[in-house]
């Protein structure tokens, strides 16, 4: 009984040692399918699925709505997570944090899009102003 488990451990260790590190990193960077939906105002929802490479920015909405450019960077790992960025060409827009980028954790994200200037830089206004919501983004991978 003990010898069979010892042989099992030796076999697993041998397989790990014989597998080149390049193939292990390629397995970790396998493409990820990202499903998303975007609702802008009263317009019809846009939904699609794209395949993204981890740690590389992947365009989501640029091809369907030329005024809104939404991109996602998916991090590798079991818990998921990543970064979402937005750029609006007609009117400035941002996320709830008044930033054009947001980090998220997990494999599902729901966030609102707001009209208003993104990225204050190092200064933050002392008065909170109401910004109208212009859309919503739902992401799952």
102-132: per-residue pLDDT in tens? 999 988 999 999 988 755 666 666 666 778 8
- CA atoms of 40 and 45, how far apart (whole Å): 7
Structural domain span for residue 131: 29-140
Residue 88 lies in a domain: yes
Quote the pTM value: 0.68
pLDDT digits (tens, 9 = 90+) for 15-65: 555 555 544 444 557 899 999 998 888 888 888 999 999 999 999 875 556
Residue 73 lies in a domain: yes
More confident site: 2 or 56 = 56
Residue 4 lies in a domain: no
Residue 59 lies in a domain: yes
Tokens of 131: 């910004």
Residue 45 lies in a domain: yes
Residue 136 lies in a domain: yes
Domain total in the chain: 1
Residue 128 lies in a domain: yes
Residue 109 lies in a domain: yes
How many C-beta atoms lie closer than 10 Å to residue 109's C-beta?
A: 19
Alpha carbon 83 to its chain's center? 5
């Amino acid at each position: 009984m003990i010898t069979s488990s010892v042989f099992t451990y030796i076999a697993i260790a041998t397989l790990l040692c014989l597998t080149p590190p390049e193939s292990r990193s390629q397995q970790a960077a396998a493409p990820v399918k990202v499903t998303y939906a975007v609702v802008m105002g009263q317009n019809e929802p846009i939904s699609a699925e794209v395949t993204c490479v981890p740690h590389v920015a992947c365009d989501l909405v640029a091809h369907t709505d030329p005024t809104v450019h939404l991109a996602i960077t998916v991090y590798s790992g079991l818990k998921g997570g990543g970064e979402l960025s937005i750029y609006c060409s007609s009117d400035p827009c941002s996320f709830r944090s008044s930033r054009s980028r947001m980090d998220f954790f997990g494999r599902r994200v729901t966030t609102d899009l707001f009209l208003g200037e993104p990225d204050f830089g190092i200064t933050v206004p002392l008065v909170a102003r109401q910004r109208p919501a212009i859309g919503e983004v739902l992401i799952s991978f």
